[in-house]
Amino acid sequence: MKSLLAKFSALCLGLSFLVAGSVLAQESSPDAMIKRVTDEVLTIVRADRDIQNGNTKKAIDLVENKVLPYFNFQRMTALAVGRDWNKATPEQKKRLSDEFRTLLVRTYSNALTSYRNQTVSYKPFKGQDSDTDVIVKTEILQPGSKPVQLDYAVEKHSDGWKVYDVIVGGISLVTNYRDTFRQEVSTSGIDGLIQMLVTKNRQLESGKAADRK
Amino acid sequence: MMIGKGGFVKQQIAQRLRRFVPVASALALCCVASAQAVETQDPFEGFNRAMFSVNEGIDTVVKPVAKGYDEAAPLPVKAAVGNFFGNLYDAWTAVNDLLQGKPSDAASDAGRFLVNTVVGIGGVFDVASEMGMTKHSEDFGQTLGTWGVGEGPYFYWPIIGPRTTRDTFGWAVDSWADPVWDLNDVPVRNTLVGVRFIDMRASLLPADRVVEEAAFDKYSYIRNAYLQYRRSQIRDGAPLPADDADSAE
């Protein structure tokens, strides 16, 4: 009996490797990665009443577990800061990325809580196999509304494809911060910018109770 | 009321088109000199911020109405309302497609208008989309942009909100071409204008919370988002070439 069980669990393990292997194989293309992650997240949100009712905490957990591994926050932050990024020390870069990540995760998670009955359509991917920096185009469809274009800028890393910009209806959620960030750096330096992000995140954290209605 | 409108609307548009061409060329002549702007131009920030607070004030009244509508109206009703106004606009989109030298888009949008007006019962059902006729989004501001007219300074107007100088002109021409504003029956006209405004505001509700949370300074966040959005519309959604060469590690 025991050996049967052992054989069975070995088989399961083997099967799961197979499945994992096929997922990895699919992800040689960036559009397959975007589709898989999107489908996975939407399946969870569709089934989760708490998230639909505005439970930000749960949405943040979901984003941190399922979405974050596919994002490159260092590059995102560099994009948002613009030219001044080169003035930052490695330590400052790390703090900036961490704080910017916290902010974006919260914003993105909150957008998930307003999910209702939209569907996502994936545009045919036009890149070459040799490309290492591409745009993956999707569209959010909603009855009675114009489709919203949602594009991801994705780059190839040794451990797979990573998103470094999200563009909603032509608006980059990352570069939209540039003016504000540049201004803050010019008046209070890189440390001032870090402080501004810290303060904002703290405010959002303390206002969390108010979000859950 | 909606069913009989199709022929009337078409007639209106034909009438407007006849008056249209001279105005368009005059506008083009006076604006074409300014170069295409890339950076943010906001020389009237003081005025704009004042108008921004005025609109925030107005919104304390409009937003609850939009919320009420969003919660009370069932999805098919909201879809029908959105489709109805979207259909009226498709005809004007087709005109702008043509002015931008996109005849196949123009044919598609004009076809949408015909199909949805006739088969979709005055535009209430978006039959054309189900038939695979893509809806485009064009207005006169985009047409001016395609013609090479520069953005000019940014403005934040009462009620209508953000517009560049070019898009303010564009908006004026769009409103002049708008069949709703031209209805002779004033109560019907006002109702339609009101419903459309609330429908538009309701469609922005999900974005509110994101902006509220994401922005350090709501005014500049909205300004930058608006400018990015309009520039992308003029490129017809084509991605910008990567511009972070100066910021990469």
d(CA A46, CA A41): 9
Residue in chain A lying closest to B207 (CA): A111
Of B221, B235, B246, the CB nearest to A83: B246
Q: Which helix (H) or strand (E) holds A163?
A: strand A160-168
CB contact under 8 A, A171 and B78: no
Chain B positions in Cβ-Cβ contact with residue A174 (cut-off 8 Å): none
Contact A144 B242 (CB under 8 A): no
CA distances from B25 to A153, B19, B80, B167, B188 (A): 39, 11, 36, 16, 33
**Does A82 sit within 8 Å of B75, measured CB to CB?**
no
Please indicate if any CB of chain B lies within 8 Å of the CB of A202. Answer: no
Is A78 close to B224, i.e. CB distance below 8 A? no
What CATH number should be reported for the domain holding residue A86?
3.10.450.710
- pLDDT interval class at B205 (50, 70, 90): confident
Structural domain span for residue A90: 30-211
A137 within domain boundaries: yes
Cβ contact B206–A114 (<8 Å): yes
Q: Is A52 on the interface with B (CB under 8 A)?
A: no
Q: Name beta bridge partners: A172.
A: A167
Tens of each residue's pLDDT in chain A, 213 residues: 556 666 666 666 665 555 554 455 446 789 999 999 999 999 998 888 888 888 888 999 999 999 999 999 999 999 999 999 999 999 999 999 999 999 999 888 877 887 777 889 988 887 777 888 899 999 988 766 777 889 999 999 888 899 999 998 899 989 999 999 999 999 999 999 999 999 999 998 887 544 443
Contact B179, B14 (CB under 8 A): no
Q: Do B213 and A78 count as a contact with CB atoms less than 8 A apart?
A: no
Using CA coordinates, name the residue in chain B closest to A198: B216
Q: Is residue A187 part of a domain?
A: yes
How many other β-carbons are positioned within 10 Å of the β-carbon of residue A133?
Answer: 12
- Whether A179 sits inside 8 A of B224 (CB atoms) is yes
Asked if the structure places residue A9 within a domain, the reply is no
Kindly determine whether residue B214 and residue A178, on different chains, have CB atoms separated by under 8 Å.
no
Give how far B147 is from chain A: nearest CA, Å.
20
- Expressed in angstroms, the distance from the first to the final Cα of chain B is 62
Instruction: For residue A147, tell me if it sits in a domain.
Output: yes
Residue B8 has pLDDT above 60, yes or no: no
Task: Give a yes or no: residue A15 inside a domain.
Answer: no
Number of domains in chain A: 1
**How confident is the model at residue A116, as a pLDDT?**
76
Per-residue pLDDT of B112-159, as tens digits, reads: 999 999 999 999 999 998 898 988 999 999 999 999 999 999 999 999
**Is B196 within 8 Å of B179 (Cβ atoms)?**
no
- Sort out which chain B residues have CB atoms less than 8 A from A83's CB and list them: 246-247
| pLDDT for B30 | 43
Pairing of strands A160-168, A171-172: antiparallel
Length of chain B: 249
Total beta-carbon pairs less than 8 A apart between chain A and chain B: 90
**Residue B9: band (very low, low, confident or very high) from pLDDT cuts 50, 70, 90:** low
**Residue A25, domain member (yes or no):** no
DSSP states of B50-115 as a string?
HHHHHHHHHHHHHHHHHHHHHHHS-HHHHHHHHHHHHHHHHHHHHHHHHHTT-HHHHHHHHHHHHH
Residue A6 belongs to some domain of the structure: no
Q: Please list every residue in chain B whose beta carbon sits closer than 8 Å to the beta carbon of residue A111.
A: 206, 210
The shortest CB-CB distance from B244 to any of A79, A111, A114 is to A79
* B40 → closest Cβ in A85, A173, A179: A179
Alpha carbon distance B192, B81 (integer Å) = 10
Give this complex's ipTM. Answer: 0.77
pTM of the model: 0.80
Residue A117 lies in a domain: yes
Give phi and psi for A167, each to the nearest 5: -120, 110
Cβ neighbours of B32 (radius 10 Å): 12
Report the gap between the CA of A78 and the closest CA in chain B (Å): 6
A172 vs B137, B228, B233: nearest CB: B228
